[in-house]
Amino acid sequence: MEVDAVGTAVGAIAGGVVAQSVKPGTGEAGEGGHVCADCGSAVTGKYCAECGQPAHVHRTLMHLGHELLHGVMHFDGRIWRTLPLLVGNPGRLTREWSQGRRTRYVSPLAIFLFTLFIIFFGLSMMPQPKVNIGNSLENAAMTEAQADAIRAELVELDKEIATVETAFESSRGSERIALGTQKGAMAGSRATLQARIDAFDAAKAGGKAPDAPRTDGLTPGSWQAQVADLNWDSNNKGAMAKIGKKLKNPDLMVYKLQQTAYKFAFLLVPLSIPFMWLLFLWRRGFTLYDHGVFVLYSLTFMAMLTLVAVGVAGALPSLSSAVIWLVVFIIPVHMFAQLKGAYSLSFVSALWRTFFLLVFCTIVLALFLTAIVYLGLGH
Protein backbone atom coordinates (compact mmCIF):
# COMPACT_ATOMS: atom_id res chain seq x y z
CA MET A 1 0.00 0.00 0.00
CA GLU A 2 1.28 3.48 -0.85
CA VAL A 3 2.40 5.75 1.99
CA ASP A 4 -0.23 8.39 1.16
CA ALA A 5 -2.94 5.75 1.23
CA VAL A 6 -1.74 4.53 4.62
CA GLY A 7 -1.69 8.09 5.95
CA THR A 8 -5.19 8.76 4.65
CA ALA A 9 -6.47 5.55 6.20
CA VAL A 10 -4.87 6.43 9.52
CA GLY A 11 -6.42 9.89 9.31
CA ALA A 12 -9.84 8.36 8.72
CA ILE A 13 -9.40 5.98 11.65
CA ALA A 14 -8.19 8.86 13.82
CA GLY A 15 -11.27 10.85 12.86
CA GLY A 16 -13.43 7.94 13.90
CA VAL A 17 -11.64 7.75 17.22
CA VAL A 18 -12.28 11.43 17.79
CA ALA A 19 -15.91 11.04 16.84
CA GLN A 20 -16.37 8.27 19.41
CA SER A 21 -14.25 9.84 22.15
CA VAL A 22 -16.64 12.63 23.19
CA LYS A 23 -20.31 12.21 24.05
CA PRO A 24 -23.07 14.85 24.19
CA GLY A 25 -22.95 17.15 27.17
CA THR A 26 -24.95 16.58 30.33
CA GLY A 27 -28.54 17.77 30.12
CA GLU A 28 -28.81 17.74 26.32
CA ALA A 29 -30.90 14.59 26.10
CA GLY A 30 -34.21 16.02 27.27
CA GLU A 31 -36.68 14.59 29.76
CA GLY A 32 -37.30 10.86 30.13
CA GLY A 33 -39.97 9.23 28.01
CA HIS A 34 -41.87 5.95 28.17
CA VAL A 35 -39.87 3.72 25.85
CA CYS A 36 -36.65 4.09 23.88
CA ALA A 37 -37.31 4.83 20.23
CA ASP A 38 -34.28 2.75 19.27
CA CYS A 39 -34.37 -0.48 21.32
CA GLY A 40 -37.84 -0.28 22.92
CA SER A 41 -36.60 -0.52 26.51
CA ALA A 42 -38.28 1.40 29.31
CA VAL A 43 -36.63 4.78 29.93
CA THR A 44 -36.68 6.39 33.37
CA GLY A 45 -34.01 9.06 32.89
CA LYS A 46 -32.62 11.26 30.16
CA TYR A 47 -30.82 8.36 28.47
CA CYS A 48 -31.75 4.77 27.71
CA ALA A 49 -30.04 2.44 30.17
CA GLU A 50 -29.68 -0.26 27.50
CA CYS A 51 -28.37 1.50 24.38
CA GLY A 52 -27.54 5.02 25.61
CA GLN A 53 -29.78 6.90 23.17
CA PRO A 54 -31.29 10.19 24.45
CA ALA A 55 -34.85 9.84 25.63
CA HIS A 56 -35.99 12.84 23.62
CA VAL A 57 -35.24 12.73 19.89
CA HIS A 58 -35.09 16.22 18.37
CA ARG A 59 -36.71 16.80 15.00
CA THR A 60 -36.04 20.49 14.37
CA LEU A 61 -33.89 22.27 11.82
CA MET A 62 -32.09 24.10 14.64
CA HIS A 63 -31.02 20.80 16.19
CA LEU A 64 -29.81 19.58 12.81
CA GLY A 65 -27.43 22.55 12.71
CA HIS A 66 -26.37 21.77 16.27
CA GLU A 67 -25.58 18.17 15.29
CA LEU A 68 -23.59 19.43 12.32
CA LEU A 69 -21.41 21.62 14.53
CA HIS A 70 -21.04 18.86 17.09
CA GLY A 71 -20.12 16.38 14.37
CA VAL A 72 -17.36 18.67 13.13
CA MET A 73 -16.03 19.82 16.49
CA HIS A 74 -16.82 16.81 18.73
CA PHE A 75 -16.54 19.07 21.75
CA ASP A 76 -19.01 20.33 24.32
CA GLY A 77 -18.70 22.26 27.57
CA ARG A 78 -15.88 19.99 28.72
CA ILE A 79 -13.44 21.83 26.46
CA TRP A 80 -13.74 24.89 28.70
CA ARG A 81 -12.83 22.81 31.73
CA THR A 82 -9.96 21.09 29.92
CA LEU A 83 -8.16 24.03 28.30
CA PRO A 84 -7.59 26.11 31.47
CA LEU A 85 -6.07 23.10 33.22
CA LEU A 86 -4.01 22.18 30.17
CA VAL A 87 -2.47 25.65 30.22
CA GLY A 88 -2.34 26.45 33.92
CA ASN A 89 -2.28 23.11 35.71
CA PRO A 90 -1.36 20.32 33.27
CA GLY A 91 -0.18 18.01 36.04
CA ARG A 92 -3.62 17.91 37.67
CA LEU A 93 -5.33 17.35 34.32
CA THR A 94 -3.03 14.43 33.48
CA ARG A 95 -3.30 12.89 36.94
CA GLU A 96 -7.10 13.08 37.11
CA TRP A 97 -7.56 11.53 33.68
CA SER A 98 -5.14 8.70 34.48
CA GLN A 99 -6.91 8.06 37.79
CA GLY A 100 -10.32 7.74 36.11
CA ARG A 101 -11.93 11.14 36.71
CA ARG A 102 -12.75 11.73 33.04
CA THR A 103 -16.35 12.81 32.52
CA ARG A 104 -15.57 16.50 32.95
CA TYR A 105 -12.61 16.60 30.55
CA VAL A 106 -11.98 16.07 26.84
CA SER A 107 -9.98 12.92 26.22
CA PRO A 108 -6.27 13.45 25.48
CA LEU A 109 -6.53 11.67 22.12
CA ALA A 110 -9.52 13.72 20.98
CA ILE A 111 -8.02 17.09 21.85
CA PHE A 112 -4.65 16.07 20.38
CA LEU A 113 -6.12 15.07 17.01
CA PHE A 114 -8.36 18.13 16.87
CA THR A 115 -5.45 20.45 17.66
CA LEU A 116 -3.39 18.86 14.89
CA PHE A 117 -6.25 19.45 12.46
CA ILE A 118 -6.48 23.11 13.48
CA ILE A 119 -2.74 23.79 13.30
CA PHE A 120 -2.20 22.18 9.90
CA PHE A 121 -5.37 23.75 8.52
CA GLY A 122 -4.13 27.12 9.72
CA LEU A 123 -0.68 26.60 8.22
CA SER A 124 -2.18 25.59 4.88
CA MET A 125 -4.23 28.81 4.79
CA MET A 126 -1.25 31.05 5.55
CA PRO A 127 0.42 32.82 2.61
CA GLN A 128 3.70 31.24 1.59
CA PRO A 129 6.80 33.35 2.29
CA LYS A 130 8.43 34.91 -0.73
CA VAL A 131 12.17 34.81 -0.15
CA ASN A 132 14.27 36.22 -2.97
CA ILE A 133 17.92 35.42 -2.48
CA GLY A 134 19.05 37.25 -5.61
CA ASN A 135 22.59 37.42 -6.96
CA SER A 136 23.79 40.86 -5.85
CA LEU A 137 26.47 41.47 -3.25
CA GLU A 138 24.01 43.40 -1.10
CA ASN A 139 21.92 40.22 -0.71
CA ALA A 140 25.05 38.28 0.26
CA ALA A 141 24.39 35.51 -2.24
CA MET A 142 28.08 34.66 -2.16
CA THR A 143 31.27 35.88 -0.51
CA GLU A 144 34.67 36.12 -2.20
CA ALA A 145 35.87 33.06 -0.32
CA GLN A 146 32.81 31.09 -1.42
CA ALA A 147 33.39 32.17 -5.03
CA ASP A 148 37.02 30.98 -4.86
CA ALA A 149 35.83 27.65 -3.47
CA ILE A 150 33.36 27.26 -6.34
CA ARG A 151 36.06 28.11 -8.89
CA ALA A 152 38.27 25.41 -7.37
CA GLU A 153 35.35 23.01 -7.47
CA LEU A 154 34.86 23.81 -11.15
CA VAL A 155 38.48 22.92 -11.87
CA GLU A 156 38.13 19.57 -10.12
CA LEU A 157 34.80 18.95 -11.81
CA ASP A 158 36.33 19.60 -15.25
CA LYS A 159 38.97 16.96 -14.52
CA GLU A 160 36.32 14.45 -13.48
CA ILE A 161 34.25 15.21 -16.57
CA ALA A 162 37.31 14.67 -18.80
CA THR A 163 37.97 11.31 -17.11
CA VAL A 164 34.35 10.23 -17.56
CA GLU A 165 34.37 11.32 -21.22
CA THR A 166 37.50 9.26 -21.88
CA ALA A 167 35.92 6.21 -20.26
CA PHE A 168 32.69 6.87 -22.14
CA GLU A 169 34.39 6.73 -25.54
CA SER A 170 35.83 3.27 -24.86
CA SER A 171 32.78 1.82 -23.08
CA ARG A 172 30.00 -0.38 -24.42
CA GLY A 173 26.52 -1.52 -23.43
CA SER A 174 25.16 -0.80 -19.96
CA GLU A 175 28.45 0.73 -18.84
CA ARG A 176 28.20 3.30 -21.63
CA ILE A 177 24.64 4.16 -20.60
CA ALA A 178 25.66 4.59 -16.97
CA LEU A 179 28.63 6.78 -17.89
CA GLY A 180 26.46 8.86 -20.19
CA THR A 181 24.00 9.48 -17.39
CA GLN A 182 26.83 10.38 -15.03
CA LYS A 183 28.34 12.74 -17.59
CA GLY A 184 24.98 14.50 -18.06
CA ALA A 185 24.55 14.94 -14.30
CA MET A 186 28.06 16.32 -13.94
CA ALA A 187 27.50 18.71 -16.83
CA GLY A 188 24.33 19.99 -15.15
CA SER A 189 26.19 20.56 -11.91
CA ARG A 190 28.92 22.41 -13.74
CA ALA A 191 26.42 24.65 -15.50
CA THR A 192 24.81 25.54 -12.18
CA LEU A 193 28.14 26.38 -10.54
CA GLN A 194 29.27 28.38 -13.56
CA ALA A 195 26.03 30.39 -13.52
CA ARG A 196 26.63 31.31 -9.88
CA ILE A 197 30.17 32.45 -10.62
CA ASP A 198 29.03 34.51 -13.62
CA ALA A 199 26.34 36.18 -11.50
CA PHE A 200 28.85 36.92 -8.76
CA ASP A 201 31.37 38.42 -11.21
CA ALA A 202 28.66 40.58 -12.79
CA ALA A 203 27.50 41.84 -9.37
CA LYS A 204 31.09 42.54 -8.33
CA ALA A 205 31.62 44.56 -11.50
CA GLY A 206 29.04 47.06 -10.28
CA GLY A 207 25.54 45.93 -11.07
CA LYS A 208 23.07 43.15 -10.74
CA ALA A 209 23.35 40.51 -13.42
CA PRO A 210 20.28 40.12 -15.63
CA ASP A 211 18.13 37.18 -14.62
CA ALA A 212 17.63 34.80 -17.49
CA PRO A 213 14.22 33.07 -17.70
CA ARG A 214 14.18 29.51 -16.41
CA THR A 215 12.74 26.60 -18.35
CA ASP A 216 11.06 25.23 -15.21
CA GLY A 217 9.05 28.44 -14.68
CA LEU A 218 10.61 29.29 -11.30
CA THR A 219 11.59 32.85 -10.51
CA PRO A 220 15.35 33.31 -10.98
CA GLY A 221 17.06 33.95 -7.65
CA SER A 222 14.10 32.75 -5.55
CA TRP A 223 14.51 30.15 -2.84
CA GLN A 224 12.56 27.72 -5.00
CA ALA A 225 15.07 28.16 -7.82
CA GLN A 226 17.99 27.75 -5.43
CA VAL A 227 16.54 24.49 -4.10
CA ALA A 228 15.73 23.20 -7.59
CA ASP A 229 19.35 23.76 -8.64
CA LEU A 230 20.67 21.43 -5.96
CA ASN A 231 22.00 18.20 -7.40
CA TRP A 232 21.14 15.29 -5.14
CA ASP A 233 20.76 12.72 -7.89
CA SER A 234 23.12 10.22 -6.21
CA ASN A 235 23.68 8.37 -9.49
CA ASN A 236 19.90 8.04 -9.89
CA LYS A 237 19.70 5.38 -7.18
CA GLY A 238 18.13 5.10 -3.75
CA ALA A 239 16.17 7.54 -1.60
CA MET A 240 18.54 10.44 -2.30
CA ALA A 241 17.75 10.20 -6.01
CA LYS A 242 14.01 10.36 -5.23
CA ILE A 243 14.54 13.35 -2.94
CA GLY A 244 16.63 15.06 -5.62
CA LYS A 245 13.84 14.54 -8.14
CA LYS A 246 11.23 16.09 -5.83
CA LEU A 247 13.53 19.03 -5.09
CA LYS A 248 13.09 20.07 -8.71
CA ASN A 249 9.59 21.22 -7.72
CA PRO A 250 10.11 22.94 -4.33
CA ASP A 251 6.51 24.08 -3.88
CA LEU A 252 5.25 20.53 -4.37
CA MET A 253 7.98 19.35 -2.00
CA VAL A 254 6.77 21.72 0.75
CA TYR A 255 3.17 20.62 0.17
CA LYS A 256 4.08 16.93 0.42
CA LEU A 257 6.06 17.53 3.61
CA GLN A 258 3.12 19.38 5.17
CA GLN A 259 0.68 16.65 4.22
CA THR A 260 3.01 13.91 5.43
CA ALA A 261 3.60 15.70 8.74
CA TYR A 262 -0.18 15.98 9.24
CA LYS A 263 -0.91 12.35 8.33
CA PHE A 264 1.88 10.90 10.44
CA ALA A 265 1.92 13.33 13.37
CA PHE A 266 0.64 10.46 15.53
CA LEU A 267 4.16 8.98 15.29
CA LEU A 268 5.22 11.51 17.92
CA VAL A 269 3.26 9.54 20.51
CA PRO A 270 4.87 6.07 20.12
CA LEU A 271 8.25 7.74 19.68
CA SER A 272 7.86 9.65 22.97
CA ILE A 273 6.38 7.00 25.26
CA PRO A 274 9.57 4.86 25.53
CA PHE A 275 11.55 7.90 26.65
CA MET A 276 8.92 8.68 29.31
CA TRP A 277 9.22 5.08 30.46
CA LEU A 278 12.99 5.57 30.86
CA LEU A 279 12.40 8.55 33.14
CA PHE A 280 10.45 6.33 35.56
CA LEU A 281 12.23 3.03 34.96
CA TRP A 282 12.81 2.31 38.65
CA ARG A 283 9.53 3.71 39.97
CA ARG A 284 6.50 1.46 40.26
CA GLY A 285 2.88 2.47 39.96
CA PHE A 286 3.07 4.13 36.54
CA THR A 287 2.08 2.33 33.36
CA LEU A 288 2.62 3.01 29.69
CA TYR A 289 -0.95 4.27 29.60
CA ASP A 290 -0.09 6.98 32.14
CA HIS A 291 2.90 8.00 30.03
CA GLY A 292 0.70 8.04 26.93
CA VAL A 293 -1.78 10.42 28.58
CA PHE A 294 1.11 12.65 29.63
CA VAL A 295 2.54 12.70 26.10
CA LEU A 296 -0.83 13.44 24.43
CA TYR A 297 -1.67 16.36 26.70
CA SER A 298 1.90 17.71 26.48
CA LEU A 299 1.97 17.51 22.68
CA THR A 300 -1.42 19.20 22.53
CA PHE A 301 -0.16 22.14 24.55
CA MET A 302 3.00 22.42 22.44
CA ALA A 303 0.92 22.41 19.25
CA MET A 304 -1.37 25.13 20.63
CA LEU A 305 1.63 27.16 21.75
CA THR A 306 3.18 26.86 18.29
CA LEU A 307 -0.04 27.95 16.61
CA VAL A 308 -0.39 31.01 18.83
CA ALA A 309 3.30 31.92 18.45
CA VAL A 310 3.17 31.67 14.66
CA GLY A 311 0.00 33.76 14.59
CA VAL A 312 1.44 36.51 16.78
CA ALA A 313 4.76 36.56 14.93
CA GLY A 314 2.93 36.73 11.59
CA ALA A 315 0.66 39.57 12.71
CA LEU A 316 3.42 41.49 14.54
CA PRO A 317 6.78 40.78 12.87
CA SER A 318 8.52 43.26 15.17
CA LEU A 319 7.76 40.96 18.12
CA SER A 320 9.09 37.78 16.48
CA SER A 321 12.26 37.65 18.59
CA ALA A 322 10.34 38.23 21.81
CA VAL A 323 7.83 35.53 20.89
CA ILE A 324 10.62 33.02 20.23
CA TRP A 325 12.28 33.69 23.58
CA LEU A 326 8.92 33.48 25.34
CA VAL A 327 8.23 30.08 23.76
CA VAL A 328 11.71 28.87 24.75
CA PHE A 329 10.91 29.86 28.34
CA ILE A 330 7.36 28.47 28.45
CA ILE A 331 8.18 24.97 27.15
CA PRO A 332 10.43 23.79 30.02
CA VAL A 333 8.23 25.51 32.62
CA HIS A 334 5.15 23.69 31.34
CA MET A 335 7.00 20.36 31.22
CA PHE A 336 8.20 20.86 34.80
CA ALA A 337 4.70 21.69 36.05
CA GLN A 338 3.14 18.71 34.26
CA LEU A 339 5.78 16.28 35.51
CA LYS A 340 5.56 17.50 39.08
CA GLY A 341 1.77 17.39 39.21
CA ALA A 342 1.08 14.29 37.14
CA TYR A 343 3.57 12.04 38.93
CA SER A 344 3.52 13.75 42.36
CA LEU A 345 7.25 14.48 42.26
CA SER A 346 9.38 16.64 44.50
CA PHE A 347 10.88 19.85 43.15
CA VAL A 348 14.34 18.35 42.61
CA SER A 349 12.99 15.13 41.10
CA ALA A 350 10.82 17.04 38.65
CA LEU A 351 13.67 19.41 37.82
CA TRP A 352 16.21 16.80 36.67
CA ARG A 353 13.54 14.86 34.83
CA THR A 354 12.59 18.04 32.99
CA PHE A 355 16.18 18.43 31.83
CA PHE A 356 16.33 14.90 30.47
CA LEU A 357 12.86 15.25 28.98
CA LEU A 358 14.07 18.25 26.97
CA VAL A 359 16.97 16.15 25.69
CA PHE A 360 14.61 13.31 24.82
CA CYS A 361 12.28 15.74 23.02
CA THR A 362 15.17 16.84 20.81
CA ILE A 363 15.88 13.21 19.92
CA VAL A 364 12.21 12.47 19.21
CA LEU A 365 11.90 15.58 17.04
CA ALA A 366 14.97 14.58 15.03
CA LEU A 367 13.59 11.06 14.52
CA PHE A 368 10.20 12.45 13.52
CA LEU A 369 11.64 14.92 11.00
CA THR A 370 13.81 12.18 9.51
CA ALA A 371 10.73 9.96 9.14
CA ILE A 372 8.74 12.80 7.55
CA VAL A 373 11.46 13.55 5.00
CA TYR A 374 11.77 9.87 4.12
CA LEU A 375 8.02 9.21 3.93
CA GLY A 376 7.25 12.47 2.15
CA LEU A 377 10.16 12.67 -0.28
CA GLY A 378 12.25 9.54 -0.30
CA HIS A 379 9.66 6.77 -0.15
Beta bridge pairs of residue 180: none
Rounded to whole angstroms, how far apart are CA atoms 144 and 202? Answer: 13
* Interhelix angle 173-204/144-169, nearest 10 degrees: 160
| Per-residue model confidence as pLDDT tens digits over 338-360 | 999 999 999 999 999 999 999 99
The ranges assigned to domains in the chain are 1-22+77-131+248-379, 26-73, 144-247
> Which residue, 35, 44, 114, is CA-closest to 73?
114
Per residue of the chain (379 residues), what is the pLDDT tens digit? 444 544 544 454 444 444 444 444 444 445 545 778 778 788 877 778 778 777 766 666 666 666 655 554 555 667 888 999 999 999 999 999 998 888 888 889 888 988 888 877 766 665 554 444 333 333 334 567 777 878 888 888 888 888 888 887 887 766 776 667 677 767 777 777 787 777 777 766 655 544 555 555 566 666 666 666 665 555 556 666 666 666 666 666 777 777 788 788 889 999 999 999 999 988 888 899 999 999 999 999 999 998 888 888 878 888 888 888 999 999 999 999 999 999 999 999 999 999 999 999 999 999 999 888 888 776 5
